[in-house]
Every structure is written in structure tokens, then in C-alpha cells.
Amino acid sequence: MIRIDAVTKRYPDGTVAVDRLSLEIPDRAITVLVGPSGCGKTTTLRMINRMVEPSEGSILLDGQDIRQQPVNTLRRSMGYVIQNAGLFQHRTILDNIATVPRLLGWSKQKARERAAELMERVGLDTALAKRYPYQLSGGQQQRVGVARALAADPPVLLMDEPFSAVDPIVRKGLQDELLRIQDELGKTIVFVTHDIDEAIKLGTMVAVLRTGGRLAQFAPPAELLSAPADPFVEDFLGADRGIRRLSFFPSAELELQTAPVVAIDAGAEKLASRGAAPYLLVTDVDGRPLGWGAPDDLTAGEIDRDRLLPYGRPFVPGTDSLRTALDGAVLSPTGWAVAVDGEGRAVGVVSQQVIGEAVRAAHTAGRPDAKAAR
Amino acid sequence: MSGFFDIPSDLQNSYFGLIGLHLREALLPVLAGLLVSLPVAQLCVRFRWLYPPVFGVTTVLYAIPSLAFFVVLIDYTGQTETTVMIPLAVYSLVVLVPAIVDGVRSVPPETLAAATAMGLGPVRRYLQVQLPIAVPAIIAGLRVATVSSISLVSVGMLIGNQGALGNLLHDAQIYNRPLLAVNSVVTTAVLAVLVDAVLVGVRVLLTPWMPKERAAR
């Protein structure tokens, strides 16, 4: 465990970057430091591997003061990922990843074998091994950065806004990849970001810092959303924290209706038997949703695909959260969300009202289920 | 005995002998300049305040005419190649020091931070990260320094025929053979272009990691 104990960083000009910060960073979990610029989050991170020395206080790693071991030994035991990856532009991808193993005295061959293994682990084609950084996209470079940090299998990973400089789609891919890798490796990760959504998505614990380097709140993300400690945290979380909190409630309990789901090749009598619903969800012959149709249009005979209303974004019950389900219902012009299975086949529909009741029930049930966030 | 490549016997060298002499007198000073510039530039990077005065001093030195250098040096090193090469080495500093400083400073801060965070000490950081990444800038500086050095060697003619190909200019006058002057100028220019091309080749070999469109400069 990393324990930050009453740490202050004061610069010679009097600026206080971090002010009596104490944090207990749990093992094998992702702890996110989040806050506006100037809140000292990067400074805090850099004090953990002594790139910045605290003015007061101490940092303990497994009960031992980090100043007790040689600084480069300490740093080689902590992977570090930085914004823009910070790759060595004059070295091949493979040699970039092999940097720390080589520093630790591994043979060139062993280090390169390890590097190739890591390329696969972070989802990079090993055909890129002999390329140079400029030949890779930003997202690929960042994956190399993560692989390089993991190369010597350090127990601790420090990540300084690693995904801030890539576009949102690539960022989401990298975040999902990090969660997957973390499930496999179980590192102690300290992750710095200014993006509260990223903090909530990735963090097992989230530390919100305020300008001047003071801790505003340290809590699991669901608790942060349901009970922000003060107006600053509430403001930092943004306007729709209620909606976002729904990410932590599972959608498995939603009661699905199957009656309004009809296949496109359904006969007139079958359509007639479903007449009670205001809209019917039309699927293709394999059961994949095509769109909503009004019963009157449908009973008129042939189903005209072009006249169907869009069905929004479907959710997968059990995998997706209540937030995704509600989003699907809001997006759908009929106000009903479409539930699909893993293969994208419609398994039922659910109305906004039903989802709303589930939200109320979840609130009264109290603690949200953190697992559903992913 | 008055052809384009017939060198008067007072120069005690063949045409190719003069070329060899010229290259030695031009390149050794640049090499010496590089060896001095590397630590000086590193100090300037390490201590930022040092760079403006260092830059000022190298500029002032560059402004001293070579003749003035010769007058002072001739008491110590006589009418020798060394007297020619010392000013050339000093002149190369005005190009090389800023080139190396800029090259080392061009290393992106996140690359340096990553190197530090991975446990590379200052020496490793310099040798394994900063210097290799500065190679294109250093070679760009070397190209300018080398070409100017090749053209400046000729002035050595003034201190007892130590100007290699430049001596031909003097002989062109005393023997009334203008072709020798043409030879001197053309050969010097061709040498400069060829040596420059070699340096570009070295750069390409040393920096396979550079984007091709930038390398095309």
C-alpha cells in the first residue's frame, strides 16, 4: 500500500502545490487523482516516484519510507505512463518497451521477448515491433507507453493524464483496455486526470483535489456521485451527476415486455394479437431490431421498412447499467428502450416509466452496485 | 607545365596532395570544435543562465578577423597549419554550440520526464536520450561549420603558404596563371559540396527514426 502522510509541496517562490495531503492508496486497485489545473495532482503523483520531493510529510510504500531506497531503484519498480506517451523517438517500439528490463540488466534477447509479449498484452500488432514512434498513431503510441511501463512487471503503475491527448473514441478504447489489463494483472495504479468522467469510469477510489492542493473528497465513484462532500465537489461533478450515478445500477432487474416485439415476416393475425401496445418493435427474421411501427400501419399488410421509426440505442440487460437503459428509452421516439442479447437480437422492450420505477427502487435500496459501472 | 591541374613546384604537393591537406586543415578544427562544444553546450543546457554569455563570447570570437588571430598565434605556433586551424576551430563554436543546445533542448519534456521516471540517471539520460535525439540538429550545425571551414582554410596562404588549395590563388598571381585561381575556387567549392553530402549521408544512417518528409530537408 502507498500511504501519503500529511505531504506538503511548497516551492521556493512560496506557491503551495500540495497542502497537507493524506491518502491511503489501496493495493491492486485504480486510485484516481482528479481536479482542476493547479490542484497539485501531477505534483502528488511525481512525489510518489520522487521526481518531486515533498517539503513536508512522508510517503510510505508497504510501510517503508520511499526515501530509504536509491531513487533509481524506486523508479524502476514503478511503471510510469505520461501524456503524449513520451516515447523515445530514436528507438524502435520493441526497444522502447524493453528500456526498463535493459536497465535492470536483463539480456537483450530476454528483454525483447518480454517486450513482444507486452505488445500483445496491450493490443498492439507485433508487426509494429521494428517501427519507430513517428510511424504510429497517437493511440498506438499510448499503448506502447503502457507496455513500456509494464515491461519489468512493477507492482505500481503511475499514470499522468495518459489518455488526455487522444480523441474521444480512441480514449474510450484505451480506457476499456486499461480496465481489461487491470483485471488480468491487478496492479496498484495511481491515475491522474482532469476529466471527472474518466475518473468515475476507471477509479476504484477517486480523490478530488481542489486548487491549492487540498483534498476535497476521497471516496468510491458511486459515493462521490450520491454524496458529494461540498459545493466544490458537486460543481466539479457537473450538472448531470444523478444521471451518471445510474451507471452504477444494474439493468438486470428491469422487467422486459416481449409482446410488442414482432418479426418482419409476421402474419396479419399475429400482428392483430399484439394490438394493445401503442407501438410494435419490428425485427428482422433473425430477431435483430429494425425499428418501431404503429400497429395501424403494420396491420395494413406488408411492413414498409422505410416507414419504421428509429429505435435509439439498445442495451444489454445485466451487462449495461440503468443509465444505458434510460438513455436508450430517451433516445427512442416511442419512449421505450430496446433490450438485446449479446448477439444483438431483441429480447424485449421496456418503457421509461418502468425504468423510472427501477431508478426509484435503486435509490431506496441504498448502495449502488459498483460492478455495474463497467 | 601550365595545365589546369599542373601545380607549381613551390607548393611541394600534387593536386590531390593539396586536396588532402585542405581537408585536414578544414576538418580537424571542426572536430576539435565539436569536442569543445559538446560539454560547453551541455553546461548551457544544465545552467540556463550560462547560455547568453557563452553565445556572446563565441560571437565576439567569430568577429575577430583571422589575420588578427594569426598575428597573435604566430609567436607561439609559427607559420604552421596549427596557426591556421586554431582560428577555424574557434569560429566553428559559434555554429556548433547553439546547434547542440537547440538540439538537446528540442527533446520533448515528456520524453525527458519519462526517461527520468524510468530510472535513467543524468548521464544515461544525456547519452541515451538527449544526445541521440539531438543528432539531426548537431549534424545540421556540423554542415554549416564544415562548409565555412573549407572555404576559410585558403586564408592560410597569408602565413607562408599554409592555405592548401588557397595557395593556388597566390601562385596564380606570381606565375600569371589565372587558371590556377579558377582551379582553387572550383575545387574548394566541389570539396565543400561533397563533404556536405557525406554529412547528410551520415545523418540519414544515424537517424532511421526520423519522419521521411522531415529528413528530406
Q: Across the interface, do A80 and B114 touch by the CB < 8 Å criterion?
A: yes
Taking the CA of residue A182 and the nearest CA in chain B, the distance in Å comes to 20
Question: Could you tell me the pLDDT band of residue A104, with boundaries at 50, 70 and 90?
Answer: very high
Residues B217 and B212: their CA atoms lie apart, in Å, by 9
* Of the candidates A147, A125, A165, the residue with the CA atom closest to the CA atom of residue A81: A147
Mutate to test the interface with A, among B209, B212, B213, B214 (most CBs of A within 10 A): B209
Identity of the residue in B111, B118, B135 whose CB atom sits nearest the CB atom of A100: B118
- The domains of chain B, with CATH numbers, are 13-215 (1.10.3720.10)
Identity of the residue in B117, B121, B133 whose CB atom sits nearest the CB atom of A49: B117
CATH of domain A2-244: 3.40.50.300
A84 in contact with B, Cβ within 8 Å: yes
Counting residues of chain A whose pLDDT is more than 90, the rounded percentage is 70
- Cβ-Cβ contacts under 8 Å, B118 against chain A: 75-76, 80, 99-100, 103, 148
Taking the CA of residue A51 and the nearest CA in chain B, the distance in Å comes to 7
Identity of the residue in A84, A132, A148 whose CB atom sits nearest the CB atom of B110: A84
More confident residue, B207 or A263: B207
Q: Strand A205-210 and strand A30-34: pairing? A: parallel
Q: With a CB-CB cutoff of 8 Å, which residues 241-260 of chain A face chain B? A: none
Residues A14-26: what's their mean pLDDT?
94
- Give the pLDDT score at B217: 46
Q: Across the interface, do B119 and A103 touch by the CB < 8 Å criterion?
A: yes
Taking the CA of residue A135 and the nearest CA in chain B, the distance in Å comes to 8
Q: Across the interface, do A99 and B207 touch by the CB < 8 Å criterion?
A: no
Other beta carbons less than 10 A from residue A274's beta carbon: 17
Mutate to test the interface with B, among A89, A93, A132 (most CBs of B within 10 A): A89
Counting residues of chain B whose pLDDT is more than 90, the rounded percentage is 71
Give the amino acid at A230.
D
List Cα–Cα distances, A72 to A65, A192, B154, in angstroms.
15, 22, 53
Q: Across the interface, do A76 and B211 touch by the CB < 8 Å criterion?
A: no
Look-up of cell digits 418502468: A354
Residues B184-208: what's their mean pLDDT?
95
Condensed to tens digits (0 to 9), the pLDDT of residues A209-259 reads 999 899 999 999 999 998 999 999 999 998 888 888 888 888 988 999 888
Identity of the residue in A73, A83, A89 whose CB atom sits nearest the CB atom of B133: A89
* 3-class secondary-structure state, position B21: helix
CATH of domain A261-365: 3.10.580.10
* Of the candidates A42, A82, A47, the residue with the CA atom closest to the CA atom of residue A61: A47
Residue A61: exposed, middle, or buried by beta-carbon count in 10 A (0-12, 13-18, 19+)? buried
Question: Could you tell me the pLDDT band of residue A299, with boundaries at 50, 70 and 90?
Answer: low
Identity of the residue in A74, A86, A99 whose CB atom sits nearest the CB atom of B110: A86
A107 in contact with B, Cβ within 8 Å: no
- Cell numbers that stand for A41 in this block: 495532482
Buried b (16+ CB within 10 A) or exposed e, B71-90: eebeeebebebebbbbbbbb
Residue A372 pLDDT > 50: no
> What contacts B43, CB < 8 A, 6 or more positions away?
B50, B54
User: Helix count (H) and strand count (E) of chain B?
Assistant: 10, 0
- Give the pLDDT score at A302: 65
- Cβ-Cβ contacts under 8 Å, B113 against chain A: 51, 82, 86
- Give the pLDDT score at B133: 95
List Cα–Cα distances, B147 to B85, B153, B197, in angstroms.
14, 10, 11
Question: Could you tell me the pLDDT band of residue A373, with boundaries at 50, 70 and 90?
Answer: very low
Q: Across the interface, do A85 and B110 touch by the CB < 8 Å criterion?
A: yes
Q: Which residue of chain B is at minimal alpha-carbon distance from A151?
A: B118
- Cβ-Cβ contacts under 8 Å, A85 against chain B: 110, 114
Residues A52-80: what's their mean pLDDT?
95
- Give the pLDDT score at B10: 81
A371 in contact with B, Cβ within 8 Å: no
Residues A342-360: what's their mean pLDDT?
90
All structural domains of chain A with their residue ranges: 2-244, 261-365
Identity of the residue in A83, A99, A133 whose CB atom sits nearest the CB atom of B118: A99
DSSP E strand stretches across chain B: none
In this structure, of A9-18, A41-50, A111-120, B208-217, the range with the lowest mean pLDDT score is: B208-217
Other beta carbons less than 10 A from residue A321's beta carbon: 24
What's the first-to-final CA gap in chain A, in angstroms?
Answer: 24
- Give the pLDDT score at A173: 93
Condensed to tens digits (0 to 9), the pLDDT of residues B59-79 reads 999 999 988 999 899 999 988
- Cβ-Cβ contacts under 8 Å, A82 against chain B: 110, 113-114, 117
Condensed to tens digits (0 to 9), the pLDDT of residues A107-125 reads 999 999 999 999 999 999 9
Taking the CA of residue A20 and the nearest CA in chain B, the distance in Å comes to 24
Identity of the residue in A72, A86, A132 whose CB atom sits nearest the CB atom of B113: A86
Q: Across the interface, do A84 and B207 touch by the CB < 8 Å criterion?
A: no
- Cβ-Cβ contacts under 8 Å, A83 against chain B: 110
* 3-class secondary-structure state, position B144: helix
| CB-CB contact of B194 with B22 (8 Å) | no
Cβ–Cβ pairs < 8 A, chains A and B: 71
Beta bridge partners of A4: A23, A59
Residue B168 has what DSSP assignment? H
- Cβ-Cβ contacts under 8 Å, A51 against chain B: 113, 116-117
- Give the pLDDT score at A275: 57
| CB-CB contact of A198 with A238 (8 Å) | no
Look-up of cell digits 543546457: B45
Q: Which residues of B touch A (CB under 8 A)?
A: 108, 110-121, 124, 129, 132-133, 135, 207-211
Question: Could you tell me the pLDDT band of residue A272, with boundaries at 50, 70 and 90?
Answer: low
Give the amino acid at A129.
A
- Give the pLDDT score at A32: 97
- Give the pLDDT score at A116: 96
Q: Between vectors from CA A114 to CA A109 and to CA A115, what angle results, nearest 5°?
A: 95
Q: What is the 3-state secondary structure (H, E, C) of chain A?
A: CEEEEEEEEECCCCCEEEEEEEEEECCCCEEEEECCCCCCHHHHHHHHCCCCCCCEEEEEECCEEHHHCCHHHHHHCEEEEECCCCCCCCCCHHHHHCHHHHHCCCCHHHHHHHHHHHHHHCCCCHHHCCCCHHHCCHHHHHHHHHHHHHCCCCCEEEEECCCCCCCHHHHHHHHHHHHHHHHHHCCEEEEEECCHHHHHHHCCEEEEEECCCEEEEEECHHHHHHCCCCHHHHHHHCCCHHHHHHHHCECCCCCCECCCEEECCCCHHHHHHCCCCCCEEEECCCCCEEEEECHHHHHCCCCCHHHCECCCCCECCCCCEHHHHHHHHHHCCCCEEEEECCCCCEEEEEEHHHHHHHHHHHHHHCCCCHHHHC
| CB-CB contact of B104 with B39 (8 Å) | no
Identity of the residue in B120, B133, B211 whose CB atom sits nearest the CB atom of A90: B133
- Give the pLDDT score at B211: 87
Look-up of cell digits 433516445: A331
- Identify the sign of the CA torsion A13, A17, A19, A20: negative
